Structure 1
Amino acid sequence: MSRPATPRVDGRRARSRSSRAKIVAAMLDLVAAGNVAPSAGEVAEVAGVGLRSVFRHFKDMDALYREMTEAIELQVLPILMRPPEGATWQQRLFDIAARRARIFETIMPYRISASLRRFESAYLMDDHRRMVRLETEALAAHLPLAVRADEAGVRGLNVVLSFATWELLRRDQNLAPEEAAAVVRRMLGDALARWPED
């Protein structure tokens, strides 16, 4: 018969879980504060742990980025999972646009951080491609067959509703979130004008 874990072992595990959580929280805090490429040393300092502790919990920075991505996805999942509202497919696209504005605003510092590092990380490059593919597939699911047949038109809709467009409006053109959302609505309306209402 096996003996129950001693309090000493349980305490060690609790400390280990606490250290891991502090490391992930530090990574999230640093990126949210504008440090788009935090080093392991910076993460350790903010977490209040030793550098060796970072790599004891995460074999490399990719593993830490993976944990960061999972934490952010859990945060936006409820918004993503709710079906878009609207009587017509066009109205549903405007709802998707509004929803993506909220999601993109939430994930912007983390996605920029991961995007900068993806050229030296196979994992982050794969994750970037996965995100772009998911955005494309999610949009296509709400388009009528006749619209999907217009390949150039669909590509244009994907550009309008992409994170890249949101980043350009928010960071490069320095627009406030509501101003960026208004530009996206205008571009979406212009793009949809080529197809009849239904």
Structure 2
Amino acid sequence: MTHAKEPATQTQADGRHARAERTREAIVEALLALLSEGVVRPSAEQIAERAGVSRRAIFNHFTDLDDLLACAARRRMETVMALWPKLSREGTAAERARALAEGICRFHELVAPVRRAAVLFSYDSAFLAGQLREAARMHRAAIRAVFEPEIEAAPEEMRGVLLGGLAAAASFLMWEELRRNQELSVDEATRAVWIELEGMLERAARNQPR
């Protein structure tokens, strides 16, 4: 008799687990949708309404909103890293500057909604602060790889300055300044980044020791 009930009990447990996963998925997707619409810091009520669940359901599945945002950030990171541009190391400095500007600016525009929220929440979340530091490290390493000949050709005491300037010019913070504060279009902001990169490289080349 006991053995006869075991399959049914297992089926019920599997069903509960599947429903919990669907609810969790709906909550994460609701948060990402709100962020994409420009709601930088959605409330639990807004997320619950979008997901079609109760406010209590959110905190049954996540410790707090930071935990939810961290989960959403991991999900989005898995998606957007597939979109990280292949940055060429071939061609002239000007050609590489233009290619990098076009690729990395497209990436910034795609990740902007979640990145803005991550920056805001990072003041209270060690996890998100760590994620942003890692993103900054990867960004700097990518810039160095693309412009390694020009950086190495600069005087030793200027290499860090040149790398830092190039990384800042192509950074998400620069993109936010151009797109939100200066109100440039995507094409205009991309061109501004390209001009800044190319200008720094040209100035560095002129100042090389003879």
- The 2-side partners of 1:109 and 1:65 are apart by 12
Q: Which amino acid aligns with 1:111?
A: R
Q: Which residue of 1 aligns with 2:142?
A: 138
The answer to whether 1:152 aligns with 2:156 is no
Percent of aligned pairs with the same amino acid: 33
Unaligned ranges ≥5, structure 2: none
The answer to whether 1:39 aligns with 2:48 is no
**Contact 2:35 2:42 (8 Å CA) reproduced:** yes
Give TM-score, length-normalised by structure 1.
0.88
Q: Which residue of 1 aligns with 2:64?
A: 60
Distance change (3 Å), C-alpha of 1:147 and 1:67: farther
Distance change (3 Å), C-alpha of 1:83 and 1:185: closer
- The 2-side partners of 1:194 and 1:176 are apart by 27
Unaligned ranges ≥5, structure 1: none
List 4+ stretches of structure 1 deviating above 6 A: none
Q: What whole-Å deviation, never above 9, does each CA across 1:71-121 have from its counterpart, x for those lacking one?
A: 221222123263536334653343222111111001111111111222222
Pick the structure with greater CA Rg: 2
The answer to whether 1:78 aligns with 2:90 is no
- The 2-side partners of 1:169 and 1:186 are apart by 13
- Alpha-carbon RMSD: 2.3
The answer to whether 1:175 aligns with 2:184 is yes
**Contact 2:101 2:170 (8 Å CA) reproduced:** yes
The answer to whether 1:125 aligns with 2:120 is no
Distance change (3 Å), C-alpha of 1:132 and 1:174: same
**Contact 1:85 1:91 (8 Å CA) reproduced:** no
- The 2-side partners of 1:196 and 1:167 are apart by 29
Q: What whole-Å deviation, never above 9, does each CA across 1:130-152 have from its counterpart, x for those lacking one?
A: 22122112212231333494221
Q: Which amino acid aligns with 2:181?
A: D
Give TM-score, length-normalised by structure 2.
0.84
